[in-house]
Amino acid sequence: MGGRQVEPVVAVVSEAVRRWFEFYEVPLDERASDALSSAAISLYGDGYQTVDDIATMLIGTYVGLWATRINAPTSKAVH
């Protein structure tokens, strides 16, 4: 495979979500983590397959903890 190591989806999603929490300096929140993980998986399926790409999209789409709550935008809303 060209010598490139592909990270498992779980590792990519977990690290991207962790970076979101770190960027916004909020404590780990299970509800937010679930919403962000779901969005990250969707982004991965849309072709964003690196931790940096997914974390950047999460940080730009879900601006702060409140954005992970009900009526939060999905990755499909990002154009």
Report, as an integer, the average pLDDT of 6-14: 88
Over the chain, what HEC string results? CCCCCCCCHHHHHHHHHHHHHHHHCCCCCHHHHHHHHHHHHHHHHCCCCCHHHHHHHHHHHCCCHHHHCCCCCCHHHCC
pLDDT at 25 over 60: yes
Which position has the token pair 């935008």? 73
pLDDT at 2 over 60: no
Query: Percent of the chain beyond pLDDT 70?
Result: 80
What is the band of 68 on the pLDDT scale with cuts at 50, 70, 90?
confident
